[in-house]
Amino acid sequence: MSTPRVETLLQGFEPDFSFTPAPRITEPEFASRVERLRRAATVAGYDALLVHADGAPHYATTNRHLRYACDWGREGILVIPTDADRGLHLLSFFSAAAILPPAGEAVGVEAIWQVSPNGREYSGRPGDSTRRTAAACAGVLQDLGYASASLGVAGDASSWRYFDLVAQQLPHARLASAGDAFERLQQRHSAAEQAQLRTAAQLIDIGYQAACHVTRPGVTDHEIYAAFTFAQMARGGETGDGYQIGINRWGTACGKPYGHVVRSGDLINIYVSTVTYHGYSAQAARMMAVGAITEAQEETLEMCTEAVRRAEALIRPGVQFCELHRAAFSSYLERGYLTDDTTATMPFTWAAMDDGRPRRIPDQYVPDEDLERQGGRLNHVYPALAGPHNPNLGHQVGIYSPNEFNITSHNTDRAEPGMAFVLHAQWLDPMSSGANIGDCYLVTETGYENLTCHSPLETFRVPA
């Protein structure tokens, strides 16, 4: 890999559409969110809400509740008194991750309390940051007169170690889950939120166009991934690790770059699990074929593309999500890939045994000259069995709550204007064929908007 080639692969690249990023969410909209959260707390009988997100590797957080409530991009506990005449209090900076605003200045918060990272080895000081944070939170609640209050709490699985400690500090308080309030508020997006999603989706299209621009035999997966990353992050994307790239001659890969060199007969899957803009994420999936591929692979690509198109044609306010699921998987049933489309019983690539016991990954040597050139060796067949990657068609996108809705055979909820989701049709047959194809959609008053419309759903063909 020569340095001049790496630096010039994107020379001359420009996206084929005009791109104007959306402005940030405004302070009045954050105030409106807090007002609605306070109303939900009032209806539920809570005196205050505690909203938590923990720190995660790579300077991320375990959820985006704080980003949603006050634009805070770090970990912390936000205290939202139900009474509107009392200000919000944020306890944060309780990890050693050196990320400071901007971006992500806390909006609409009366006070931010800094909790020091502790530990003998780190700072020579005794104590545990989790316990100190919970104690500090309990202190703020006591000062606000909430020592014996009814408290609604929202977070994720990591949050309860904090909430349990708060409950110990305030034995007369009552804590109950209020996460559903966040989930309800995040299902339908405002006009400003829709603009964030539209920008995130366009960044996906720009990244994919850049990936197509550089892909040719002899280029590595590192270079394709880097082209995608540079193109979208240079235009405002927040992160460069929210997607996977898989390349092999079966189309069954979904991973990270490792040094694979593109060759004739390769299938390339770029699975954009998330490109994030101002905390809002869009998602899409695309396939490339290098030179000639097999008839079975062509059929799989056609089937998955058609599946998305069939579901897309039904998107409108009032359609049940199970109808979208059924329409897409009719493409599989007609070709004999599946015998039914029931999510609960559908075979999928990472499924356990039918009785729930773990499934053993097959032991088999799989030649991979690029991996072996680096001293590695592939000794197992991934995935373990044939089927879709997921037993559903898609899921909600946006500023994720822990329990976003899925497009399944059992989801009888109906689409409403402002909802956004990805539809991705997938099939993986180990050592044979595979595809992962999908677009991102916004439900409008009269139908839908394809947010990833600037790159084709159809497979991109790379001359060999």
Q: What is the DSSP string of 221-237?
A: HHHHHHHHHHHHHTTT-
First CA to last CA distance, the chain: 19
pLDDT of residue 450: 98
Read off the pLDDT of each residue in 409-422 and give the average, rounded to a whole number: 97
pLDDT over 80 (residue 1): no
pLDDT of residue 128: 87
pLDDT over 70 (residue 20): yes
pLDDT over 90 (residue 341): yes
Read off the pLDDT of each residue in 107-130 and give the average, rounded to a whole number: 86
Read off the pLDDT of each residue in 335-339 and give the average, rounded to a whole number: 96
Under CATH, what is the fold of the domain 47-177? Answer: Creatine Amidinohydrolase; Chain A, domain 1 (3.40.350)
Domain ranges within the chain, ordered by starting residue: 47-177, 191-462
- 181 preceded by cis ω (within 30°)? no
pLDDT of residue 241: 87
pLDDT of residue 123: 77
Question: Which is higher by pLDDT, 207 or 124?
Answer: 207
- Helices within 45-151 (DSSP H only): 65-70, 120-123, 129-143
Question: Residues 8-17: pLDDT tens digits?
Answer: 899 999 999 9
- Helices within 295-375 (DSSP H only): 295-312, 321-334, 369-373
Please return the burial class of 316, using the count of CB atoms within 10 Å of its CB with bins 0-12, 13-18 and 19+: middle
pLDDT of residue 2: 54
Q: Are 391 and 355 in contact (CB under 8 A)?
A: no
Q: What is the mean pLDDT of the chain?
A: 93
pLDDT over 80 (residue 358): yes
Coil, helix or strand at residue 387: strand
Question: Which is higher by pLDDT, 286 or 350?
Answer: 286
191-462 and 47-177 share a CATH fold: no
**pLDDT band, residue 295 (cuts 50/70/90):** very high
pLDDT over 70 (residue 277): yes
Question: Residues 258-270: pLDDT tens digits?
Answer: 999 999 999 999 9
pLDDT of residue 402: 65
Residue the block writes with tokens 């897309």: 312
pLDDT of residue 443: 98
Read off the pLDDT of each residue in 396-424 and give the average, rounded to a whole number: 92
**pLDDT band, residue 216 (cuts 50/70/90):** very high
pLDDT over 60 (residue 346): yes
Q: Are 66 and 89 in contact (CB under 8 A)?
A: no
Q: Which has the closest alpha carbon to 294: 146, 134, 429?
A: 429
pLDDT of residue 3: 61
pLDDT over 80 (residue 456): yes
Domain 191-462: which CATH number of 3.30.70.1400, 3.40.50.9100, 2.40.50.140, 3.90.230.10: 3.90.230.10
